[in-house]
Structure 1
Amino acid sequence: MGLRANAAAAAGRTLADTQDDGLRLPEEFVNEFPASDPMAGYEPGDDDPEMVPVHLAWLRVRKEIRAIAKGEQYNGGGTRFSFRGVDTVVNTFGPVTLRHGINVLPVHVEASYRDTTTSKGNKMHECTATVTWRIIGPKGDDFTLQTQGEALDSADKATAKAQSVALRVLLLTSGLTPTHDKDPDASYIERGTSAPARSADSYRDEILDKKTSQGRLQQIGYELGNLRMMGAKVVNEVGEQETLDSLGRRIYGERAGGAQ
């Protein structure tokens, strides 16, 4: 007796019972007589999740997760920000999805690549991955979602990194996972008063100062125009009233003539 016969006998069947009789349902009747549900006779055990539709199981996952704070920090290259890393998000969702019978499977990946260079001249490989995910519930029903991830790497890890980012985006966006950070609108800071504008007399003194260059005199003219102080009258070097505009132009002309 061969191995197949022994196996059949151990299962209480004859070898003939295990043979394929070659009978097939005609194609035109396949839709009328669909295959039986593989979960139809399943009875959950004590540790198995409740047999609920996938959308309800996912809702229970969201209710249990509640929030994931931005507990990690990036500090490099003059940039500093807080973020929620891939490992943190997966470690949070993993046990909860398992408890509620949720499977998250990538079923299709489209990736595009390009070579780039960092600001320091290092060559990098960039990958942008579009991943289609199938979210399967405890009863076997499912829905699909699609996310993108982008990553840089100097070796061969760009694709794996991009898919990891796409997974983080999937869990955070489809889970509508808040950070519980303080809302920016929850605080109000009253602005202090702006520094007082320079007085007309201070501009007069700078214009008359022999150390003031011609370039600075031109700049003073722009400042006076922006401050709408061109017409402000001051006492000039001979004790007469003169507008700052006139004073500035006259002094500039005198110094320009003296420089020739």
Structure 2
Amino acid sequence: MMNDNPILTLLIITATFLAAGIVKGVTGMGLPTLAMGVLGALLSPLAAAGLLLVPSFVTNVWQLLAGPRFAGLVRRLWAMMLAILLGTLIGTAFLAQGRGDVSTLALGALLIAYAAYTLLGRPLRVPSGMEPVLSPLVGLVTGLLAGATGVFVIPAVPYLQALGLEKDDLVQALGLSFTVSTLALAAGLGLHGAFPASDLLLSGLAVLPALAGMALGQLIRRRISPARFRRWFLVCLLLLGAEMLSRSLW
């Protein structure tokens, strides 16, 4: 972390989580993805992952509990959630090693893949008969990538979108997936001794700008097109991922 200039570090963290909260307020997702993308370009991916844990957990629990079908979604998706937990615990072993160059490369590639798929990919549909097989597989891959990079979206988000859930159920299912991923990431980093108390304090402080950003984003959503906002957000993620990928390779 940029300990030589703590005021600048604090300002960057505050601005990042305010912006990430705005994105989540407008689109319903994107807080950990944007936070990891921006902070991962300035700090080590390990430090960035530690900072996002508390604001990600608070905002995702809010999203999870706001929906009407928590119990039903848990019964349907329990195998996927269990696999996310297992995969994340395994993946954090890689992140905790402090291989910043490899983690930055993987994070950049993941941001590009997510942004490109969401911008260009055609909607998919999962046949109901394949769900018991695909759910744990998707969960395991999501967990491994989340543990290694701190980003929870691939392939969980496209998969949940392909299940044909109603809008409210989809938002709540995403909240469930992100909450499990956040808790598993925290547990994995803790088990490897890679989550110092100072990061927990900063992560807790980051909740305030994240919540303020969410409230602001909900106001913005009433005034602009969420689809247009989301498109530009994804373009920015694509460019950010490309910058991280090029920095790692050259």
The structure whose residues are more often strand, as a share, is 1
Of structures 1 and 2, the one scoring higher in RCO (CA 8 A, sep 6+) is: 2
Same fold, TM-score > 0.5, yes or no: no
The structure whose residues are more often helix, as a share, is 2
* Greater Rg over alpha carbons, structure: 1
TM-score (norm 1): 0.25
TM-score (norm 2): 0.26
